[in-house]
Amino acid sequence: MSHFLGIDVGTSGTKALVVDDEGVVVGSGTGHHEPEVPRGGWSQQDAEDWWPSTTAAIASACRDAGIGPEAIDAIGLTGQMHGLVALDQEMRPIRPAILWNDGRCEPQCHEVEARFGIERLVELTGNRMLAGFTAPKLLWMREHEPEAYARVATVLLPKDWIRFKLSGVVAMDVSDASGTAVFDCRNRTWSDDLLAALELPRSWWPPAAESPEVVAKVSSEAAAETGLRVGVPIVAGAGDQAASAVGTGLVDEGTIGAALGTSGVTFAPTGSWRATPDGTLHAFCHAVPGRWHLMGVMLSGAGSLDWFRHAVTPDLADDTDAFEKIEALADQAPAGAADLLFLPYLSGERTPHPDANARGAFIGLDRRHERAHLARAVFEGVTHGLADCLDLVRGTGVEAGIVRLSGGGMKSRLWKQTCADLFRTPVVTTTTTEGTAFGAAILAAVGAGRFEDVPTACTSWIHETERLEPGPDADILAARHEVHAKLYPALRNLFPAIAGSASTEGSTS
């Protein structure tokens, strides 16, 4: 039996999965690493820490599977997107990697958008210049660390550094490259025009392959450290969002994903190139060759419930069943929360309103309202935000035939039904519980020849487990959504004054 290894280099650790020839996860392992926060709004990591974290995860996953690492037949890589791994001519990291959630380059983003205009940037790349992305981090280095910047010879993303450690090969994939802000996503290649205009040498950026393409093999040095066989193929892999989409079967246009983790993500595969003129939705290359995806990212998804747990229900703050109890509390209130609305902008917002000054709010409070109504309003407010993102997707011409749910939020029956009601479409859950690393393993299986292509692999290995249709509360929530949609425009000009000195300038996801 073949075994495929999926490796996910996350922000707080590396996860590895061993998947057998039938798509069953037979082993799981983790390795630990932590981000550094040297200043408010900054987030960075020593890239060298990712290698021992990865070797530990591989060893743990293989032990859990009851096999030796030499039994692995192909490797897929994924990981946190956008992180800047700047390397010198000897392929040594020059400085700690600047991560996706680091906002220090917000001024450089504003300068680039003012210089080119958002429409021109979207024309060149499909996207705005956001502080989470990779290229503006280099512009920050050029301004603030000129000596370090002068040593840059190669730019990699986090998972691609691990590929280099495994193989000695420098490569990237189109889905992860899409989040650098200098990749022409429509044509699936680097934007030479933008790189030249920003004076970022084209030679720094590795070839960007399609995600299931074999681009490297395990080296003798890495084999000695990990126990993997020399020559095991390594596919190009994907950024974490595209890999997670593969891992939950989001590969065909019309099947849309909604993920409720700390943030909230709406992911829509497309069979042809689409972008929003103002860059409100990310428009990236998919991990499926010849396909793209639109993505909306809310900064506070389940994070809003975590805030509610500590701020409004402190009696549940340390309760291991806190979220189940908050859901039960919310279930005591009617749909629409007795006319109470919640804006989930606790960390500013990215989609549908790219505004670091936006702030959360309960609107419509009166003497009827108790904790149950507040809890219900939070569940609904986050889902209103996801529905906003879905409305933007529909505005590009993509129809939502079905929405697949993932993330920790899919454990909540209330949230799932609220999604079906507000999205006005059936929602489903799938057999996948380890979407990101599982998606990387699927890409490895395709690269190794187990399947003809990614959609075939997903059809074979991923199955629907539950389906919910819009229910009797759908009309109530639709009416409330019309009111919700008017709240941000009404408050937009007040948010800078409301945010005051606590502005979250540069907040990204």
Catalytic site positions: 240
What's the CA angle centered on 480, arms 476 and 485, to 5 degrees? 150
d(CA 238, CA 236): 7
Q: What is the DSSP letter of 9?
A: E
d(CA 489, CA 470): 28
Say if residues 6 and 448 touch (Cβ distance below 8 Å): no
What's the CA angle centered on 427, arms 422 and 428, to 5 degrees? 160
For residue 104, the one-letter residue type is R
Say if residues 53 and 32 touch (Cβ distance below 8 Å): yes
H/E segment holding residue 163 = helix 158-167
d(CA 303, CA 361): 14
Say if residues 41 and 53 touch (Cβ distance below 8 Å): no
d(CA 405, CA 105): 33
Residues 6+ apart with CB under 8 A from 109: 128, 129, 130, 131, 136
d(CA 173, CA 188): 10
CA 145 to chain centre: 28
SS (H, E, C) 125-156: HCCCCCCCCCHHHHHHHHHHCHHHHCCCCEEE
Say if residues 70 and 62 touch (Cβ distance below 8 Å): no
Indicate if the alpha-carbon torsion angle 448, 450, 456, 458 is positive or negative.
negative
d(CA 306, CA 343): 15
